[in-house]
Chain A
């Protein structure tokens, strides 16, 4: 085939809409930066302060290890209990919310509950629970349970909605009651993904459980916050390092658990 020389057919026509959109974005970026006084001078002086702060972090101070251990253990308990309660509530809720198995009158209320649970950051929810049930770990557990229900519920609902309905049809055809249909045709299809979701949520709860303490909902967060306020930066460093180690241990455990379930 002879090439059609001199033709001006264009394979990728320029999109003027996209060009204008990029231009508008660029102008807004410059405007926003100037508005917030984001100047290089400020940035470099900030770096200097940062360096001083980092210098004061080291060496970490593990002298008050009892306080540290007590806080970490409480955080861990909050994370594990909140995740377990979250799964217990989220799994049946997700089943109710799955559009492929349930009628609209069941899915909408279940979805509404999940949306409300997801609407606020765990710290905000923790403030509410501290007001309601007082300072301490209970408020933290409840706050993180709410967060877990929101996220696990959504992930689990989506997993259930992606299952193969052919397998469900076959089990229904045997005359199985609904609960048996769920346990034989739905659960086997979603179980491995649920284990993944739960391990991810436990990981997130471990991180968040160190946060809710800042508002008085128990755990290491309270200790961390007061150390900051007293400029005990070496103790702050000790706490931060411990949290990192804890999250790493959690990661390793997750891998082990996944192996046990053969995922």
Chain B
């Protein structure tokens, strides 16, 4: 693993750091009127560190993360990022805000018929005109950055391969590199390891931890694997039924908490 360039004293600062990077206030989402999936989420995220969001399937974790960059429109509430309420922005302002929010997906969501390099450079689409993007005329600085990032994620040899020729772990590395191309000030990861084997999952989590430490941005990860969450996260948020039921350090999470998050107890034995 690449050594982190700067020491990250993030763990202690989660609770009461001066200016939170992201604030969610009363975030609510109803896909069907009267049946809320998110019921008034209030959370603050510090400028550094990894926050793992755990909870049973269908409890609104993916919706929560997509409401932050408005891939899903929140029904009500506020998402305050960079001094703006993202929910109140118009389409153009929203696109500008999205440029600095990287996102990593469960099934990688690479454009399969494009090359790895094109996928990486698509992280810069918010900055260049559609015409230049279509002609693949990216600034040299972006191209250099893309090659550097490929080296960081260990895929230099695959720059010109088509994305669908890569394995799952390699694709997720490209997905992370694409998000890093945006020079993000926030990284959202929607179950980034759920489609990967245990060893690759650990490597992907470590990669995100390293990059987050190096470049100093907060990461919000939806994750099913509680062990991975304990190992890599600085903070764990437990959700059930569209509400936050646990919020604290990974060490503080007990079997009692897991029971209240996932319900029942037979599965813990």
Are B109 and A170 closer than 8 Å at their CB atoms?
A: yes
Cβ of A189 within 8 Å of any chain B Cβ, yes or no, is yes
Are A174 and B133 closer than 8 Å at their CB atoms?
A: no
Q: How far is the CA of A89 from the CA of B182 in the complex (A)?
A: 35
Are A170 and B111 closer than 8 Å at their CB atoms?
A: yes
Cβ of A207 within 8 Å of any chain B Cβ, yes or no, is no
Cβ of B83 within 8 Å of any chain A Cβ, yes or no, is no
Cβ of B113 within 8 Å of any chain A Cβ, yes or no, is yes
Q: How far is the CA of A184 from the CA of B95 in the complex (A)?
A: 16
Interface set, chain A 188-207, CB cutoff 8 A to B: 188-189, 191-192
User: Contacts A175-B96, A176-B95 given: A184-B111 contact, CB under 8 Å?
Assistant: yes
Give the interface size class of chain B.
Answer: 20 to 34
Contact of A183 among B101, B133, B178, B182 (CB under 8 A): B133
Cβ of A169 within 8 Å of any chain B Cβ, yes or no, is yes
- Chain B, Cβ-Cβ closest to A186: B111
Are A191 and B113 closer than 8 Å at their CB atoms?
A: yes
Are B111 and A173 closer than 8 Å at their CB atoms?
A: no
Contact partners of B98 in chain A: CB under 8 A: 172-175
Are A174 and B113 closer than 8 Å at their CB atoms?
A: no
Q: Can you list, as one digit per residue, whether each of B82-115 has a CB less than 8 Å from chain A (1) or not (0)? A: 0000000000001111111101010101111110
Contact of B109 among A167, A175, A180 (CB under 8 A): A167
Interface set, chain B 108-142, CB cutoff 8 A to A: 109-114, 118, 122-126, 130, 133-134
Are B125 and A176 closer than 8 Å at their CB atoms?
A: yes
Q: How far is the CA of A197 from the CA of B109 in the complex (A)?
A: 26
Are B111 and A176 closer than 8 Å at their CB atoms?
A: no
Are A172 and B71 closer than 8 Å at their CB atoms?
A: yes
Contact of A174 among B123, B130, B134 (CB under 8 A): B123
A-B contact pairs, 15 of them (CB 8 A): A166-B105, A167-B110, A169-B105, A170-B103, A170-B175, A172-B98, A174-B103, A174-B123, A175-B182, A177-B125, A179-B130, A180-B125, A183-B134, A184-B118, A188-B114
Q: What 7 A-B pairs come out closest when comparing CB atoms?
A: A175-B126, A176-B125, A175-B98, A170-B109, A175-B99, A179-B130, A188-B113
